Every structure is written in structure tokens, then in C-alpha cells.
């Protein structure tokens, strides 16, 4: 169970009704009546509220339930046992179902995609049009951006932020999946739930290429160009430690944090190849040095599929490439020649260098 930090009652009373998180019918009715802040709404009697346009007993009950949550928030008692309970408190059944399908709340695998199911696939499952599913998703995200919900989400943001801080600012999905307190999430996929939080405004956490980071999207975007610029100045190859030193001088963070971010970002960059031993190559010029080292392991011509397999075994899993990539690199390498159909070897000059 995580508890939201208390918010002064005076601050809550000043929340605009339009941003409060109250149901749309209530917001519409109070707008017609000229009410703008929660404090104005709280001052009205039930009998007066029932006289508002399109506001009935069900809406009145929702208002009472909402103010009950506000009172617990002001007293520092607003808590949810599971993250799923929080979502159910602010979303209706359709909204929760759409987000569950979109983000993969029930997926057993740690890696979320952000679109586990397409809008059309969800529409087919729920017997709704694609446009109606899009509208439901948009409304659900707007509800999660409401004032009361954002306050309720603070301890969950803090929980994930604390996890990342202890892991040098970033964690791969698999690691986060294994180290979260699964009972807090009612055994739903914590990576998918965190991905949902990343999509909300004000989130300090960024999702990229299968990992979560405390770095901003702008800082993450700086990493691959900085690495490539350094590689171009060093014949297309280098070691992770050397590149981390360069990134540290560029002001991207501490050495430990930079090392993890640089490796994860480089592994998922199409223009960079990362070896398991910490060597890094540019995919255009530097890869020729890597291929030459691979071919030195063989005596005589070798089939390109064998070369591709051997090369990938020397790389980090996320950096491995398809056979077509390696075949193109073999054909463009000035020091590698094809002896017969599909079989390649180093030229004598290249093998001796």
C-alpha cells in the first residue's frame, strides 16, 4: 500500500472543476451553473445540486465519493493497496479495459511495447469502432491527468524513481520486472504500468528501447550522435570506457550513470555495433575492423552465414544483426575477397596487418 502525500484543503478547494477529475456530466452541469472551483461546488447543498441541469442522484453520489477522497488526501490518508485499484478508482470499465489492452497490463513478458494491441484489434474485441476506442483512450488519459489522480500517483512515481536511482538512473525492463514488489501491482505487469506513467505529463521517467531512465528525452537523444562523432574521430572504433569519458566531459552525468546509458543507447542504435567485451564500432566504417578480427579466427574461405553467426556471438544481444547486414559488410570490405560462391576470406595483406 502506498499513501499520497497530504495536500492542504485550501489548495484542493482552489482546483478548477474542469481539471479536478470529476465525471464529465458533473463538470458540464457545474459549468452551466457558473461554478469554477471545487470550493464553490462544496459550498452547495445537495438539494441545490439536484436542481442543476442533467445532474441526478448518481452524479450526486459521485460528487460525495470524490470529496471523500479529497478529504482523505488533505488528511494524508489517501492510499491504494495496488496500482490497479488506483486505476479503477479513476477509470470506468471501458477506459480501464482499453488501457489494459494498449499497454499490456496482463503480459507475462517484461518488455512493453506501448501498443500491445492496435486500436482496431481492441475495437474488434470490444465490438466498437476504431475511432470510438481512440476516444475512450483519450478520455482515460485525460482522467489520469486530473488533479486528484496526479496527487494519488505521486507515491507510485516516487517508488519507481527510487528504484531507478539505486540502479544508476536506468533499468532494463527485464531487471525492473524482476525487482519490483509484484504484490503492489496485483501481479500485473509493472513495466507496462510504468510505461503508462511515462506517458503522463510531469513524469521524470523516460522509456526508450526496452529500458526506463531518469534522463530526459533530450539527454538520451544526445547520446548516439555524441558516440558516433567520437567514433568518426577514432577510425570508427573504440572502447566503452573511452566513450564514457568523452560523454562525461560533454556534461551528460556521472561516470556510472553514463556507462549504463551509453551501452543501452548504443546497443539499440542502428549505426552502432557493441561487442560483448566493451568494444564499440560504427556500423559503416568501424565494422570493417570487427569483421577482420572475426575472419582471423578461420583458416581459409568461410561461408557468409558462418561468419554472420560467429560475429553475432561476439556482440551484445541487442546489437546483433541479420545475415543481410553482414553480407553487405563483407562485400564492401576492401580487405575481404570472395573465393567462391558465398565463401569469404581475408586477403593476404589484410590478414597480415
pLDDT tens by residue, 298-308: 888 999 999 99
Degrees (nearest 5) of the Cα angle 323, 333, 308?
20
pTM over 0.75: yes
Confidence (pLDDT) at 133: 96
C-alpha to C-alpha distance for 34 and 52, rounded to whole angstroms? 11
Q: What is the DSSP string of 179-192?
A: HS-GGGGTTS-HHH
Rounded to the nearest integer, the mean pLDDT of the chain is 89
Mean of the pLDDT values across residues 47-75? Answer: 92
If DSSP states are collapsed to H, E and C, what string results for 90-151?
HCCHHHHHHHHHHHCCCCCCCCCCCCCCCHHHHHHHHCCCHHHHHHHHHHHHHHHCCHHHHH
pLDDT tens by residue, 106-133: 877 666 655 578 999 999 999 999 999 9
Q: Confidence band (pLDDT; 50, 70, 90) for 349? A: low
Check whether 352 has a pLDDT greater than 60.
no
Kindly report which listed range (123-132, 197-206, 250-259) carries the lowest average pLDDT score: 250-259
Report the 10 Å Cβ neighbour count for 220. Answer: 20
Confidence (pLDDT) at 112: 60
Provide the CB-side half-sphere exposure for 92 (13 A, CA): 10
The cell numbers describing 121, all together, are 484489434
Confidence (pLDDT) at 153: 95
Check whether 256 has a pLDDT greater than 60.
yes
Amino acid at each position: 500500500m502506498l499513501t499520497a502525500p497530504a495536500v492542504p484543503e485550501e489548495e484542493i478547494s482552489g482546483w478548477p472543476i474542469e481539471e479536478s477529475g470529476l465525471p464529465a456530466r458533473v463538470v458540464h452541469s457545474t459549468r452551466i451553473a457558473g461554478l469554477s472551483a471545487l470550493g464553490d461546488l462544496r459550498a452547495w447543498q445537495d438539494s441545490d445540486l439536484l436542481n442543476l441541469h442533467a445532474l441526478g442522484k448518481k452524479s450526486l453520489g459521485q460528487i460525495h465519493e470524490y470529496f471523500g477522497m479529497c478529504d482523505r488526501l488533505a488528511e494524508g490518508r489517501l492510499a491504494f493497496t495496488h496500482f490497479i485499484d488506483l486505476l479503477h478508482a479513476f477509470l470506468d470499465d471501458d477506459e480501464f479495459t482499453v488501457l489494459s489492452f494498449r499497454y499490456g497490463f496482463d503480459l507475462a513478458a517484461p518488455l512493453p511495447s506501448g501498443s500491445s494491441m492496435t486500436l482496431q484489434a481492441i475495437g474488434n474485441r470490444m465490438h466498437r469502432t476504431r475511432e470510438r476506442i481512440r476516444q475512450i483512450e483519450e478520455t482515460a488519459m485525460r482522467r489520469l491527468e486530473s488533479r486528484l489522480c496526479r496527487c494519488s500517483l505521486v507515491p507510485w512515481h516516487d517508488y519507481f524513481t527510487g528504484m531507478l536511482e539505486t540502479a544508476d538512473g536506468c533499468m532494463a525492463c527485464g531487471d525492473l520486472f524482476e525487482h519490483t514488489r509484484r504484490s503492489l501491482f496485483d501481479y500485473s505487469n509493472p513495466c507496462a504500468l510504468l510505461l503508462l506513467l511515462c506517458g503522463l505529463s510531469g513524469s521524470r521517467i523516460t522509456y526508450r528501447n526496452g529500458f526506463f531512465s531518469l534522463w530526459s528525452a533530450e539527454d538520451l537523444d544526445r547520446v548516439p550522435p555524441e558516440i558516433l562523432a567520437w567514433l568518426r574521430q577514432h577510425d570508427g572504433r573504440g572502447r566503452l570506457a573511452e566513450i564514457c569519458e568523452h560523454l562525461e566531459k560533454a556534461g551528460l552525468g556521472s561516470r556510472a550513470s553514463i556507462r549504463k546509458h551509453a551501452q543501452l543507447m548504443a546497443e539499440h542504435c542502428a549505426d552502432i555495433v557493441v561487442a560483448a567485451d566493451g568494444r564499440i564500432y560504427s556500423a559503416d566504417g568501424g565494422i570493417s575492423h570487427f569483421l577482420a578480427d572475426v575472419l582471423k579466427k578461420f583458416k581459409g574461405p568461410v561461408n557468409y552465414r558462418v561468419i554472420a553467426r560467429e560475429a553475432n556471438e561476439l556482440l551484445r544481444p541487442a546489437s546483433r544483426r541479420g545475415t543481410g547486414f553482414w553480407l553487405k559488410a563483407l562485400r564492401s570490405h576492401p580487405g575481404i575477397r570472395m573465393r567462391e560462391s558465398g565463401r569469404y576470406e581475408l586477403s593476404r595483406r589484410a590478414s597480415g596487418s
